[in-house]
Amino acid sequence: MSRVRALLAKDLADLRQNPGVFVPAVLTSCIALALPFIVAIVVPAVFGEGLADSGDLDLAREMYRTRPAARALDADGAIQAWVFERFLVLLALSPVAASMSVAAYSVIGEKQARTLEPLLATPITTVELVAAKVLASFVPALTLAAAVFGCYLAGIQVFARPGVARTLLAPQPLAVMLLLTPLASLASLQLAVCASARANDARSAQQIGSLIVLPLGGLLVLQLMGAFELTAMTLMAMAIGLAALNAALMWISVVVFDRESILTRWK
Neighbours of 231 (CB within 10 A): 11
Confirm or reject binding of residue 124 to another protein (CB under 8 A). Answer: yes
For residue 263, the minimal CB distance to another protein (Å) is 6
Closer Cβ to another protein, 46 or 260, answer by number: 260
User: Which of 45, 89, 112 shows the shortest CA–CA distance to 234?
Assistant: 89
Instruction: Choose, by CB under 8 A, the member of 38, 45, 119, 247 that binds another protein.
Output: 119
For residue 145, the minimal CB distance to another protein (Å) is 25
For residue 206, the minimal CB distance to another protein (Å) is 20
Closer Cβ to another protein, 111 or 161, answer by number: 111
Confirm or reject binding of residue 9 to another protein (CB under 8 A). Answer: yes
Q: How far is CA 78 from CA 22, 60, 64, 68, 110, in A?
A: 35, 5, 7, 11, 50
Residues of span 248-267 touching another protein by CB under 8 A: 259-260, 263-264
Instruction: Choose, by CB under 8 A, the member of 19, 20, 48, 113 that binds another protein.
Output: 113
Give me the residues that bind another protein (CB under 8 A), please.
2-3, 5-7, 9-10, 13-14, 17-18, 113-125, 259-260, 263-264
